[in-house]
Structures are given as structure tokens and as C-alpha cells.
Amino acid sequence: MIMNAEIINIGDELLAGHTVNTNATWMSKELKNIGIKVIRHIVIADEKESIIMALDQVARGTNYIFITGGLGPTEDDRTKAVITSYFGGSLEFSEEAYKWVEEFFAKRGRVLSERNKGQALIPNNAERIINKMGTASGMIFRKNEKTFFVMPGVPYEMHNMMKESILPELAKYSKVITSELQINTFGLPESEIADRIMDVMPDIERDLSIGYYPSVRGITIRLAGNDKFKVKKAQEKIQDLLGNSVYSLEGESIAEIVVNLCKEKNLIVSVAESCTGGSIADMITNVPGSSAVFKEGYIVYGNEAKTKLLGVDPHILKEQGAVSIETVEAMVKGLKNKTGADIAIGVSGIAGPDGASPGKPLGLVYLAVAYKERIHLQKINFDRGRIKNKEYAARAALNRVRLALIDDE
Amino acid sequence: MIMNAEIINIGDELLAGHTVNTNATWMSKELKNIGIKVIRHIVIADEKESIIMALDQVARGTNYIFITGGLGPTEDDRTKAVITSYFGGSLEFSEEAYKWVEEFFAKRGRVLSERNKGQALIPNNAERIINKMGTASGMIFRKNEKTFFVMPGVPYEMHNMMKESILPELAKYSKVITSELQINTFGLPESEIADRIMDVMPDIERDLSIGYYPSVRGITIRLAGNDKFKVKKAQEKIQDLLGNSVYSLEGESIAEIVVNLCKEKNLIVSVAESCTGGSIADMITNVPGSSAVFKEGYIVYGNEAKTKLLGVDPHILKEQGAVSIETVEAMVKGLKNKTGADIAIGVSGIAGPDGASPGKPLGLVYLAVAYKERIHLQKINFDRGRIKNKEYAARAALNRVRLALIDDE
């Protein structure tokens, strides 16, 4: 039996464009992993009519409805009362829930305020879901063979309820029917990837679905099908076709791949960041356990810092400019000397919105990676605004390290 | 006249949980700014039946429907054909669109592939929207007083179409009817903020709507109402009530506020980051023009780096540990000496998932800010996983700088 789900996210903040709906994304992924297919997301306002209309309009074939939002202690949350009365019940004060809220506050050294006492009002027609991370209980309503799970909109509270109470229970009844694999690439454009794949695998569409997902992280290719051996075969074939532009088959970040390669080879990596301003180090240190391979890094944002900390010759900065091959080359040489790191990364560029000059447009970045006797150099032109430019340059630098380390083998 | 809009995002990647729906958020915000109210977001699969059902189900009172996704060059995009035929037209080869695609590729030094030629097939029943950032044209269909805007799902392509073609046109016909203001706070819990506000302003709900939006960036309070003077008055009153936990009234990041304060006071800031691993520097350098106040920074991830680069006494590291008040104090002293910066930030903590010990739990962070003769010290306990822990510590450190600079006045 295929199990279908719909996700209803209630919140004015979502419709007003203040908050990105990461809840729908997270839930969709978790549900897919246990074989439940999400067929629709709906976002509506925290008001009675919209909530009732959404509950009325749930499609016939849907087994599970996941509702988030509107259970908090503040005045703008109306969901609990509306949903309880939709299913014919009413809210009652629960001694048990009250104790729970009181203890929750006590543990954090806070006093239970009048406002938070409302969290102890519980529907008399629902099963309660314990909230370990906050004070608003979750609720389960059942009607006409459909199950409605109602949870707070605060992501980590919802995650905890899903992981501890809901997903393990649903997994018992579901059966995973599709097999899905991915291929993460960096450096090739979408149409070239599609061309290469389609030239060699004209029949891929018959058995498998294939999707291309471009972002600043590169292009991710996703394969899905009912025959897990065919999906695996296709993944291997595509990996061969795309060569070393494939950095992962499991969705790890390039930073994770680089940290793991460094661990395997027992190498220390260091960074000298100008335009990326700390984002390479930030990506590396987002990886748990990265402290084994990353010990120190330098953000050399000004020209003086490049000279003072890394010994970059002021003549190079004056004549070639801070954004030049010569500068990044001098940065990594200086960094290697100073730190003794096995791998030195240097990046300098024009993140924007100011700083462009003739021949040096916004988004121009030079990067250098020193490893063993070689310095790998790369020029990038990528202009999608300051923050994306920084991120792309950081990923490109980490990708260059990856390529240097796998060439080595 | 109130103008209502619905957003339909088409994409298997959204329902599969691979991609966060930032398009709906961005569009909602831009539309609200010109007085168009988004009343629903719907996410559906890139398949004929779902697309037709969504088009059929658009609510009666909706004037504008914004559709994104499914216009790319790859095989998984079916939207264009389905929507064109839904409105009674068919796709025709357009010489003009073909030239556009060809030029687009030529400018980037790429050859037009067979796959990309499909981008020159254009509906014969729609107005075309030029895509300056990519090869897939946008389309405008009109039916029964409703206007349907169809755009690619790639965010920067859609943004460009909206900003250059659609929003300026719609703004002519719309009238902004609500006034909205915000108050950005850091450091106080949601229920305490709500208590303080409600105690003093019991009648705020009558004229205004008020919403509380908690995240790792702090709590944002949003006020909306039809009388812009009342909204402004309420904003001022709340700002007074919450004192210096309010860091902005305009939605700037704490890093923007800090960079601007440093510019005003002509101060240089530097960082010594352990557990935050570069994220403070990254946040600072995300601010355009931050190079005026930020010249150099150190990521001292290992103990040796703390000693070598900042002169932290190895005895402190051994006896108090790297995660201690004494260590961050020594870090900022060393940083100030080394850089001559006016403000020195030092952070050390346990980001997790490993590294906890008795008395030093995951999420424990010490931070120090040296400014003038004082060193401001702070201890944080915040454990929501490695990446959020890093981010929160970085924001708390910047907030501490902000407080030190405003105390100064």
C-alpha cells in the first residue's frame, strides 16, 4: 500500500515572507525515508477560516496530514482551539500537562508566567504527543481513516516530536517502495551534465526518474526507481561519465569530503582568506571532528594583514593588486611557511558590491592551493551578489583541495 | 481594492525534501511590499494532473497567481507544455527566443546544445517575460480576470524577472493598505517579551496585530495595522520596554549594526575564534563595506595556535582548559596586543557533538570582548547541535560588542 501525506503549515510569518518554510522540507525528507510520499504542501494563515478550509480540502487518497504552527504561548496562535473544535472536542485544563510545563520552566530556572499556563489546556478528543523541547503539546486527531498530527512550528520542537514519537510508529506500517540515490557534482553546468548522461543512457527515463538540482553547491543529480539494483547501476555509470567533478554520492558537503580525505592521509589544512572572510574555515569547522585536521587560519582582509601575517611582498600588492594570481600564490607560500600545514588555501577576490575596476569585475576571484611541491591556481568569474560570491569561492577552494588530494592517488 | 495572490511552486525536489522553498518566501515578501497579500502557498509535483488540479483550485478571490518551476532544459521539467495547453494554446518555435538563447550561450563562451534549443519553444497564447539570467523565458497567461505569471524555479532567474518586469508593473495597480514595522531583539525569551508588552499594552490587539518570531537570530516582533502612526507609536513604546535587547528596527543583522557602529566611531574590530571557527568573521564580512573596520582575524582552533598566535599561557589551557573564562580573557588580551585593534572578540566553547566533560556540557561557550579598558565576559549555554551552536555563539559575541559600544555613549 502506498501511503500519502499532506503537510499543512500554519503561520502568517510564512505568508508574509518573514520565515522560510524549512519545516515542510524537513518533514518531506523524513517521511520519504520511511516510504511515505508527500504529495502536497500548503501554507495558510493562522486564522479560523483558512484552517477549516484546509482541513476540508485534504485530498481523498491522503492517509496522513501533518500540521505545524500556531501552538505557542503568544496571542497570535489560534490553531489549537480551531482544530480541536473542528474535530468536535473542546479544550480542558490538564493537571498532567500543567505539571510538565511547570517542571520545564523550573529546570531552566524560569518562573511559569500566566501566558504559559495556556499550554496546559489540552483537547479532550486528541491523543497527546509529549514535547521534550518546549511547552506546547502535540496532538493526534483521527477521522475517516485519516490521521492528523498537530505540532508546534518551532523547528527543533517539531523535529523532536517527529523523531521520538511519530516517525518510529509510522515506520511500522509503511513499506519503502522507491529506491533513491544521488550524485553530487561541482564545476560542470547542468546542460552539459544532462547531455553527457542522455547521450550514453537514452533509456534511463523508462525505468528511472532523473532530476537535476543546481545551486551554489554545484549540481546534484537524483535518481529514483523501483528496482534498487538498476538505480545503483545508473549511479555508477553516471559517476564514471562525470569523472572527478563528482564529489559525493551521499550528499556530504565538499568540506566533509575534504576533512575526511585529510584525516585518511593524516594531513593538516590551513586557510588564508581575503574575500571569503572566514567562510572556508566556517565550512571546515562545521564538520564534526574537523579539529583533527584544522588547527589555525588567518583572515587577511586588509593588504597590511597580508604582508604582516603572511609576508606577501607589498610590491606584488601594489603592482598586481590584492586580487591577482601573484597575490594568492604569495599568500599560500607564506601560509605554508608560517603554519607548517600540509595544505594551504589562499583566496582573494572582489565580493562586491563595490571594488570592481577595469579588467577586474565583481565576482572575480583567484584561489591557490599549495600541496606538496605544487601550487594549484584557479580563476573564477561568478557574480550573484556578495554573499553567494563568498560562498561559491569558498566551495570552489575546497573543491580545488579535493582535486589536489585525489590527483595524488 | 485588496489584491490577493497565490503562489504555486512546482517541483518534485520540494516535495522530496531536497530543496527548501525559498522562492515562496521571497515572492511573498516582495508582493507584500507593494500591497499584494499572499493568501496561500501550494507546492505540487512536476506532473500533469497535479498542475491541472492546482490551476483548477485557485480560490475565487485571487487576482494573481505566481507559478515557479519546471521550465529548465532537462527532462524532468514538464510545466511549460502542460500550462500552455491548459490555457488552450500550443508551443511554437520562436526565432527571437532562439537568438536570445544562442546569444546567452555565446556570451558565456558555451555552445548551444540540442537540449537547450527547447528553450526557444514558446506558447502562442502567452506574453513572454524576458529572462536576463538564464535561457528559459517566463510567461503571462490571462483568464477570467486572473493573471498567471509562470517563471523558472532557479531563484536568481525568478528574482530578476520579478524585479525587472513583474513587480514594477503590478505596483502601478496596487495600493499598500497595511503598515508593518519590526523590532529585532537578542537575549530575552519569547514569553518574557510577550509578558512585558502585554502588561503595558493590553489594548494592542485591538488596533494592531503583533507576532513573535523566535530563531537563532533572537526574537523578532512584528507589528501591523492600518494606521501607520499607531504602528509607529507601538514600535517606539516596545523599543522603550525592551531596552538594549533591541538591536534593530529595520531587520539588519547584528553584524550590520556592529559594522555601522564601528564605522561611526572609527574603530577597528578583530576576532580570535575557536569554537565559532570563522563564523564571526564570516558574518562581519557579509556586510558590504566591512573592510573599513575589519582588517584581520585569527582562527585559533587548536591549543597550540592559541599560544603561538595570541600568546595564551599554556598553563591556563592546561589548568582551566581551552573552554574557560581565563582562556577567552587571555585570547582577547593577546589579540589586542597583536593587532592593535580597538575591539577584540574571543570565543571558545564546545560546539559538539563530542568534547563534553563533567562540568563542561555541549553548548557551553565563553566569550570575551575587550574594548577600551574593559573586558566584557559572558557564559552561554545553548545546545541545539553543532552548527546552530556555532551560529548562536557568533551572534552572541557580536551582540556583546554592540552592548559594549552603546554603553560607551
Compute the mean pLDDT over every residue in chain B, rounded to the nearest whole number.
91
- In a mutational test of the B interface, the residue from A183, A215, A301 whose CB has the highest number of chain B CBs within 10 Å is A301
Coil, strand, or helix at residue A119? helix
Shared domain for B214 and B284, answered yes or no, is no
Contacting residues of A for B26, CB less than 8 Å apart: 17
Who wins on pLDDT, A171 or B325? B325
* Number of compact structural domains in chain B: 3
User: Strands A269-273, A294-300: parallel, antiparallel or unpaired by DSSP?
Assistant: parallel
Q: Is B15 on the interface with A (CB under 8 A)?
A: yes
Which residues 36-95 on chain A approach chain B with CB closer than 8 angstroms?
38-45, 50, 57, 72-76
Q: Which is nearest to B129 in space by CA: B163, B104, B95?
A: B163
Our CA angle for B244, B246, B251, nearest 5°, is 150
**Residue A28: which of B16, B31, B294 has the nearest Cβ?**
B16
Picking from A282, A298, A365, A383 by the largest number of B CB atoms within 10 A of its own CB, the best residue to mutate is: A282
Residues B80, B157 within the same domain: yes
| d(CA A210, nearest CA chain B) in Å | 7
Domain boundary (A218, A248, A278) is at A248
Chain B residues closer than 8 Å to A211 by CB: 12-13, 74, 76
Task: Return residues 340-369 of A near B (CB < 8 Å).
Answer: 351-354
User: Domain check: are B165 and B100 in the same one?
Assistant: yes
**Per-residue pLDDT, A119:** 82
Written in H, E and C, the secondary structure of chain B is CCEEEEEEEECHHHHCCCCCCHHHHHHHHHHHHCCEEEEEEEEECCCHHHHHHHHHCCCCCCCEEEEECCCCCCCCCCHHHHHHHHCCCCEEECHHHHHHHHHHHHHCCCCCCHHHHHHHEEECCCEEECCCCCCCCEEEEEECCEEEEEECCCHHHHHHHHHHHHHHHHHHHCCCCCEEEEEEECCCCHHHHHHHHHHHCCCHHHHCEEEEEEECCEEEEEEEECCHHHHHHHHHHHHHHHHHHEEECCCCCHHHHHHHHHHHHCCCEEEEECCCCCHHHHHHHCCCCHHHCEEEEEEECCHHHHHHHHCCCHHHHHHCCCCCHHHHHHHHHHHHHHHCCCEEEEEEECCCCCCCECCECCCEEEEEEEECCEEEEEEEECCCCHHHHHHHHHHHHHHHHHHHHHHCC
CA distance B125 to chain A (A): 27
Which residue is closest to B12 within chain A, CA to CA?
A: A211
CA dist A98 and A70 (Å) reads 19
Per-residue pLDDT of chain A (409 residues; tens, 9 = 90+): 568 999 999 998 899 898 899 999 999 999 988 889 999 999 999 889 889 989 998 887 899 999 999 887 665 668 899 999 999 999 998 888 888 888 888 877 777 777 777 888 889 999 999 888 888 889 999 998 899 999 999 899 999 999 999 999 998 877 666 788 999 999 998 888 988 888 777 555 567 878 888 889 999 999 988 788 888 989 999 999 999 999 999 999 999 999 999 999 999 999 999 999 999 999 999 999 999 999 999 999 999 999 999 999 999 999 999 999 999 999 999 999 999 999 999 999 999 999 999 999 999 999 999 999 999 999 999 888 999 999 999 999 999 999 999 987 6
Same domain, A244 and A99: no
Nearest to B27 by CA among A41, A44, A17, A9: A17
As a whole number of angstroms, the distance between CA A162 and CA A363 comes to 42
Read off the pLDDT of residues B190-205 as tens digits, 9 standing for 90 and up.
888 988 888 777 555 5
Size of interface A-B (CB pairs under 8 A): 293
The whole-angstrom separation of Cα A150 and Cα A8 is 9
Average confidence (pLDDT) over B317-339: 97
CA distance A262 to B362: 25
Q: Is B189 in the same domain as B291?
A: no
B266 and B403 inside one domain? yes
Asked if B194 lies within 8 A of A13 by C-beta distance, the reply is no
**Could you give the CA distance from residue B209 to residue B207 in angstroms, rounded to a whole number?**
7
- Is ipTM strictly over 0.95? no
Angle value at C-alpha A373, between A368 and A374, nearest 5 degrees = 35
- Choose one of A248, A279, A305: the last residue of a domain: A248
Residue of B76, B296, B309 with shortest CB distance to A300: B296
CATH number of the domain residue A312 falls in: 3.90.950.20
Positive or negative CA dihedral for A392, A397, A401, A406? Answer: positive
The angle that helices B386-407 and B254-265 make with each other, rounded to 10 degrees, is 30
Residues of chain B contacting residue A291, judged by C-beta atoms under 8 Å apart:
301-302
Tens digits of residue pLDDT in B67-96: 999 887 665 668 899 999 999 999 998 888
Residues A7 and A124 in one domain: yes
Q: What is the mean pLDDT of residues B374-380?
A: 96
B271–chain A nearest CA distance, Å: 9
Backbone dihedral region for residue A29 (phi beyond 0: left; psi -120 to 50: alpha; all else: beta):
alpha
Q: Chain A partners of B280 at a C-beta cutoff of 8 Å?
A: 278
Q: Which of A248, A271, A301 is the C-terminal boundary of a domain?
A: A248
Q: How far is CA B16 from CA B126, B207, B301, in A?
A: 31, 41, 37
Strand partners, A379: A366
Chosen for mutation from A9, A10, A32, A41 (greatest number of chain B CBs closer than 10 Å) is: A41
Rg of chain B, C-alpha, whole Å: 26
The answer, yes or no, to whether residue B223 has pLDDT greater than 70, is: yes
pLDDT of residue B226 exceeding 90, the answer is no
Chain B closest-CA separation from residue A177 CA (Å): 14
Residues of chain B with C-beta less than 8 angstroms from the C-beta of A262: none
Q: Is A334 helix (H, G, I), strand (E, B) or coil?
A: helix
Q: Which amino acid is at A320?
A: Q
C-alpha cell at A379: 580563476
Residue A244 is given by DSSP the state G
Contacts of B74 in chain A (CB under 8 A): 190-191, 194, 211-212
Which residue of B44, B156, B295 is in closest CB contact with A40? B44
Q: CB-CB: which of B32, B115, B296 is closest to A299?
A: B296
CATH number at residue A135: 3.40.980.10
Asked if pLDDT for residue B343 goes beyond 90, the answer is yes
Q: Predicted confidence band at B368 (pLDDT cuts at 50, 70, 90)?
A: very high
Report which of B153, B177, B202 is spatially closest to residue B37, judged by C-alpha positions.
Answer: B177
What is the reported pLDDT for B1? 59
pLDDT number for residue B215? 86
Of A25, A39, A301, the CB nearest to B17: A25
For residue B187, give its domain range. Answer: 179-248
- Nearest by CB to B279, from A278, A288, A298: name it: A278
| One domain for residues A301 and A167 | no
Residue A265 and residue A229 share a domain: no
Contact B13 A50 (CB under 8 A): no
A:85-114 residues touching chain B, CB 8 A cutoff: 110, 113-114
Residues A165 and A270 in one domain: no
* Per-residue pLDDT at B245: 96
CB contact under 8 A, A14 and B26: no
Query: How close is the nearest chain A Cα to the Cα of B85, in Å?
Result: 23
Partners of residue A276 in chain B, C-beta under 8 Å = 285
pLDDT of residue B30: 92
Do B159 and B240 have their domain in common? no
Measure the CA–CA gap between B371 and B267, rounded to whole angstroms.
10
* β-pairing verdict for A343-349 and A64-68: unpaired
Give the pLDDT of residue B227.
Answer: 82
- The beta-carbon neighbor of B384 closest among A156, A297, A353 is A156
Same domain, B149 and B16: yes
CA B67, CA B341: separation in Å to the nearest integer?
Answer: 50
B381 in contact with chain A, both atoms CB, cutoff 8 A: no
Q: What is the CATH number of the domain that holds B225?
A: 3.30.70.2860
A162 interface with B at CB cutoff 8 Å: no
Q: What is the pLDDT of residue A135?
A: 83
Q: Which of residues 173-192 of A touch B (CB under 8 A)?
A: 180, 189-192
